[in-house]
Amino acid sequence: MKSGFVSIIGRPNVGKSTLLNTIMQRKIAIISNKAQTTRNNIMGIYHDEESQIIFIDTPGIHKPKHNLGKALNSKAYYTINDVDVIVLVVDISEKMGTGDKFVIDKLKDINKPVLLVLNKIDKVSKEMIMKKIKIYNDLYDFKEIIPLSVISKKDTDILIKHLKKYLTDEIKYYDDDYITDKNTEFFISEYVREKILNYTNDEVPHAITCITENIKVGKDATEVDVLIIVERENLKKIIIGHQGEMIKKIGIDSRKDIENLLGRKVYLNLFVKTVPKWRDKEKYLLEFGYKNNE
């Protein structure tokens, strides 16, 4: 038995959470095409006959513009010191910029194996892949550079194979049926947040927070209350939509995910509340984060 802790880091929107979900073959982390989708470090524990790999998906590292951004960055950095191996994910279809160098600089002080995943190869040519491998090779002493598409299970299997070379522990840390550190409340509120991110435009900021307030298990169904907090009245209007169309759509799709998670019928109640300057209230965030995540 080989085991170890692996942190998945990188800039926003490169596919870190998609990677975790493909490896785990289930929806552990929510995904959107918008930056800063992930707000918490989320653990996904991969088990097979010969190994146990504890993955930690992290918020995208970026130049912070506000307190929430700073808090997200520090969550990602924190894991770097705490794990055995680091998987750095980059989007191969994007031009390398100061943001990538910013992340790689953070790795220079630590003495741990770093594997580079060049993700989204489905979007680029073979020549581009070769070119990028060379560029990154010159930039840092990566243990492995693996071009792949994290949407493909076959591709992530290749990553797992490489990772196993760098696992040094021989302890089984968790039971076979333990797959994540997050609870049901967390997943429910995240599923709702995912639908909001997917259905609304960029004018809806990422500081939207969803909180699972109540889960009532009934005889035939489970009733769930989720509170959506926004900063401004006009955002509340957007989320509710014309004649409640938007909130209805968010509700229907979230409910499907929640029913999948709980394996039974669900009645979902969504509430929207405006709390001005929500983004500045980091204390609030941490408090609610605590409620939802620990």
Separation between Cα atoms, residue 107 and residue 77, nearest integer Å: 9
Say whether 13 sits in a helix, a strand or coil: coil
Under the criterion CB under 6 A, does residue 272 sit at the interface with ligand GTP? no
Look at the alpha carbons of 58, 59, 60, 61 in this order and tell me if their dihedral is positive or negative.
negative
Residues 6+ apart with CB under 8 A from 82: 5, 7
Of all residues in the shown chain, the one whose CB is closest to ligand GTP is 60
Q: Is 231 in contact with 277 (CB distance < 8 Å)?
A: yes
Binding mask 59-78 for ligand GTP (x = CB under 6 A): xx------------------
Locate 98 and state its tokens. 């100061």
Under the criterion CB under 6 A, does residue 151 sit at the interface with ligand GTP? yes
Locate 17 and state its tokens. 């959470």
Under the criterion CB under 6 A, does residue 149 sit at the interface with ligand GTP? yes
Under the criterion CB under 6 A, does residue 16 sit at the interface with ligand GTP? yes
Of the candidates 26, 123, 216, 264, which one interacts with ligand GTP according to CB under 6 A?
Answer: 123
Stretch that binds ligand GTP, among 9-17, 139-147, 176-184, 271-279 (CB under 6 A): 9-17
Q: Which does 35 bind (CB under 5 to 8 A by kind): ligand GTP, Mg ion, none?
A: ligand GTP
Separation between Cα atoms, residue 87 and residue 3, nearest integer Å: 15
Under the criterion CB under 5 A, does residue 41 sit at the interface with Mg ion? no
Q: Is 5 in contact with 80 (CB distance < 8 Å)?
A: no
Under the criterion CB under 6 A, does residue 15 sit at the interface with ligand GTP? yes
Report which DSSP code applies to 150: T
Under the criterion CB under 5 A, does residue 17 sit at the interface with Mg ion? yes
Q: Residues in the site for Mg ion, rule: CB under 5 A? A: 16-17, 37-38
Q: Residues in the site for ligand GTP, rule: CB under 6 A? A: 10, 12-18, 31-33, 35-38, 59-60, 119-120, 122-123, 149-151
